[in-house]
Amino acid sequence: MEYELEQKTKGKVSHHRAVFILKKRDSEQTKNKKKSDDAWIGFFNLSEKGKEEFEKRMDKWAENGTIPKQWGHSWDKDEKKGKYTDCFCFKYKKGRVHHRLYGVYINDPGEPRYRIVLLCTYDKKTQNETDFSKLDKAHKTAELPEVLKCVSEFFKSRKNKVNSKKHQRR
């Protein structure tokens, strides 16, 4: 399976943080699937309003590095024996329906100050409690060799862009 990264935060928000949704190359063919826990498909099937709300919350996280718990959160090391400290969840509630996008933090090995959240799974529910199987799946997905390769290529291309910008300034 081939993957690509779709940036959800505005490029100009921050040089330190960004949010991406993992997209399978065949997601365009399956995008109308209503019952999917795939983050890209889940996001695609949200209303325009829902998409905008999520994107604003992502932008604020990228800008500030922290957001109110109603917009999203990570997990402490004292929760679930610290298994999910590298996970992040963006939240949006419409009426009684809770929408969740789950992902993992990934730091650029070449520039540790640059961190992304890679969103992998989606959940739609009427309870506030986290279904940790969605986080487990996000973990597993982010560790797939094809995904690691895709992320690594993104970091490399980003580094080249940053270097060429520095070069232009000189």
Partner 1 sequence: MPSQKPNPAKKKQEELAREIAYDFLAQIHVQMEAKNMKQKDLAKALGTTEAYVSKVFSSARNLTVTSMIQWANAVELTPTVVTYENLDCVDEVDKYISPHVFRCCWEKCEKPLSMAEIEDTFSTIH
Q: For binding to partner 1 (CB under 8 A), which residues are involved?
A: 10, 12-13, 52-53, 56-57, 59-60, 63-64, 66-71, 93
Neighbours of 165 (CB within 10 A): 9
Helix (H) or strand (E) holding 21: strand 17-24
Burial category of 68 from C-beta neighbours within 10 Å (exposed 0-12, middle 13-18, buried 19 and up): exposed
Nearer to partner 1, 19 or 120 (CB): 19
Could you tell me the smallest distance in angstroms from the CB atom of residue 18 to partner 1? 15
Could you tell me the smallest distance in angstroms from the CB atom of residue 17 to partner 1? 13
Nearer to partner 1, 10 or 161 (CB): 10
Nearer to partner 1, 8 or 24 (CB): 8
Could you tell me the smallest distance in angstroms from the CB atom of residue 113 to partner 1? 17
List own/partner pairs for 108-116 with CB under 8 A and 24 or more apart.
108/155, 108/158, 108/159, 109/155, 110/155, 110/159, 111/155, 111/159, 113/16, 114/15, 114/16, 114/17, 114/158, 115/16, 115/17, 116/17, 116/18, 116/19, 116/20, 116/151
Nearer to partner 1, 49 or 140 (CB): 49
Nearer to partner 1, 12 or 166 (CB): 12
Could you tell me the smallest distance in angstroms from the CB atom of residue 41 to partner 1? 24
How far apart are the C-alpha atoms of 8 and 6, rounded to whole Å?
6
CB 22 within 8 A of CB 141: yes
Could you tell me the smallest distance in angstroms from the CB atom of residue 85 to partner 1? 18
